[in-house]
Structures are given as C-alpha cells and as structure tokens.
Amino acid sequence: MSLKCGIVGLPNVGKSTLFNCISSGKAQSANFPFCTIEPNLGSTNVPDRRLDTLVEICHPKSVVPATVDIVDIAGLVKGASHGEGLGNQFLANIRECDAILHVLRCFDDGNVVHVDGSVDPVRDKEVVDLELQIKDLEVVNARLAKVEKAGKMGGDKDAKKLAELLLRYKAALEQGKSCRSVELVNEEEEALARDLFLLTNKPVMYVCNVDDASAVNGNKYVDAVREAVKDEQAEILIISAKTEAEIAEMDDYDDRQMFLEEMGLQESGVVRLIQGAYHLLGLQTFFTAGADECRAWTIRKGDKAPKAAGVIHTDFERGFIRAEVIKYEDYVQYRTEAAVRAAGKMGIEGKDYVVQDGDIMHFLFNV
C-alpha cells in the first residue's frame, strides 16, 4: 500500500525546507512566492525500530522498510479556487494525495517575507481552508444536480443515498466547515465519500513551523492554532524546519541524538511527522522476517489476514488458506521461528483474524 502526503500552505511558510528534510528529493528553497511551481516528488522510509531489531536477529540478505511518498505542492493564495496564483494546478495536485500536511508559519523573521505582510497562522489556515471549501462546493453542487435528476427520473436508491450525503456536505461547506466535519453513519456512506475525492474530506495534520527556541513547547502562534482547530478531526505537530534541516545534514547517528538532546527533543520532527501521518490515516505495520528478507508492510487498522496477504501479492489473498502469526514481543524473546513454535507461541489464524500492529506473518495459500 502506497501512502502519499501532500505538503501545502501559503508561499514562504517552510514547505520546501520541510520537504527536503523528510524526503530523498531536493526541492528549491528560496525567499520569494511561488518558488515551487511544479510539485516536487520524493519518498522517505517510515522509521520503525522494530524493523531494526528484526534485522539484528535475522541478519537478512535484504531489508525493505515501509515508505511514504511526499509531494511538495506550490503555495496557495487567495482566489486559487478561481485560478489565482497557481490555483487549479495546486488543487489538482492535492486531490491526488491521501493526506494533507498543512504547514503554518509560526515564527517571526523580518528576513522572510510573508505574502500578506504579517505573521498570523490562523488567518493563513483560513485562507487555504476557504479556497478548498469553495472548490469542494463546486464539485458537490455539480454532482448533486446529476444524482438528484437520476434519483427522481429512475428511482435509483443509490442515487438517493448519494444525494442525501451531498446535501449534508453542501450544508457544511456553506457554513464555512470542511467536509470532514460531516459525520458518516455507516460503511456505505464512507465508501460513497471516498469516491467523491473531496479536498476538505482528506485527513489533515497542521504542521506548526516554529523558531528553534519554540521547537519543544511551541509559542503564542501555536497556541492560537490549537484553539482554532480544537473542534476539527485533525492533529497538530510542532516542528522547526530550520532545525530539521541542520539534523538532515548530520551523517552520524550519535551526533544527531546529541543535537536532539541539547534541543530538549527525544526524536526528530521528521520521525514524529511520518509516524503522525500513519496515525492520521489509521495505518499500521506487519512484518515478514527471515534470512532472505526482513520487510515492513503497510495496511489499515482493522484489516483481516487475507487483506494483509493481498498487500504482498494478489494471489496470496485470492488463494488464502491460513496465516502463521508471531507477536513481535515473542519473536524478540525467542529469537527464532523454531523456538517460538516450540514454546507454543505461534498462532494459526484464519480468514477472520484481524491483523495487529507489529505482527510477524507467514501466509499459506493455494491458487
């Protein structure tokens, strides 16, 4: 399963600096609006100490961590929904992402220009929200006209259900609320919502880009953001893109850890951001481990064993028979699959087994 996160925000809030820290790409970073025009694409490994431990135990020939694709999207300005700035291109790029990392400028620096002349992250957030909401409202109205006609003319029950959902989205958007504020009542509505690809229905993490001194506890700007989003289904991450850029230049692990300790941080902001994105999307990891390969696989929380098998290969899901499951803690304790089996700690699970985060799995199938 591939995960794509889009970094968005107004121009000059630190998007490209952050992108360079968390991805293998190298975006241009400069002090002028629309420095980023075409979306920058990169990827990064998902930090997971459990995979490191499995590698120490198995000494495999190859190691494959889970990865996240990162898209640095051009800065948005007022009127983007009507084509201002790089509007339509910006909005199209967001539509392709699974989650939004909304970077907000929460630092003062006279040397870095702000498109609106002053630092106000709540105002900046509202600018982006409004543009996305306007675009979603256009989509909802257009789709609503079609499905209402289909429901009336053909008595299509599915069209009626979709129309009911669209009307709730329309009401929320007209009140200045994002689509994710609309509560979905069942899995059927969740499926309908996914198929609409609405911009403000995507999960969002607000990334407060602060100065070095505020990297641990935040500042008045972060407090204002917290208050503004307290009723949203969103997460907040405090990060200093400038500090993260310095960490990214350090090759030695011990030097990085010493630097973090001096800053009063246990982990880098990049690690917290990627882990936060996983949590935001309701994702988790299972592993396959052995002498040939140790690998991390990404699935959604609640996925059952056949679905997890299908992430490895569609034949595994289609011909699923059973799964052999070892809990991560047991594998670390007993060190080998044979020892786990001898201790009676290997589970034999069928199609209804709900995979747990950290499970080490082997699938039996027949096609």
Is the pLDDT score of 85 beyond 50?
Answer: no
Report whether pLDDT(34) > 60: no
What average pLDDT does the chain have? 87
Could you give the residue ranges of the DSSP H alpha helices within 155-231? 157-174, 187-196, 220-229
Strand order in the sheet with 293-300: 62-64, 293-300, 283-289, 360-365, 320-326, 347-349
Contact 274, 91 (CB under 8 A): no
- Looking at residue 192, its pLDDT comes to 93
For the segment 172-198, what is each residue's pLDDT rounded down to a tens digit? 999 999 999 999 989 899 999 999 999
The rounded distance, in Å, linking the Cα atoms of 67 and 143 is 35
User: What's the rounded Cα separation, in Å, for the pair 112 and 29?
Assistant: 12
Query: What is the pLDDT at residue 275?
Result: 85
Per-residue model confidence as pLDDT tens digits over 121-159: 999 999 989 988 998 999 999 999 988 777 665 566 778
DSSP 273-307: HHHHHHHHTTEEEEEEESSSEEEEEEEETT-BHHH
Strand partners, 45: 67
Length of the chain: 367
Query: Among candidates 223, 209, 35, 11, which has minimal Cα distance to 108?
Result: 209
What pLDDT does residue 1 have? 65
Predicted local distance difference test score (pLDDT) of residue 37:
43
> Is the predicted pLDDT of residue 40 greater than 70, yes or no?
yes
Q: Could you tell me if 248 and 26 are in contact, meaning their C-beta atoms sit under 8 angstroms apart?
A: no
Element of type H or E holding 87: helix 87-95
- Distance of alpha carbon 220 from alpha carbon 251, whole angstroms: 34
Q: Can you list the alpha helix ranges (DSSP code H) found in 209-359? A: 220-229, 241-248, 253-263, 269-280, 305-312, 314-318, 328-334, 337-342
Using only C-alpha atoms, the chain has a radius of gyration, in whole angstroms, of 23
Task: Give this prediction's pTM.
Answer: 0.85
User: Where would I find the beta strands (DSSP E) of 17-78?
Assistant: 40-45, 62-64, 67-72
Comparing 107-116, 206-215, 229-238, which segment has the lowest mean pLDDT? 107-116
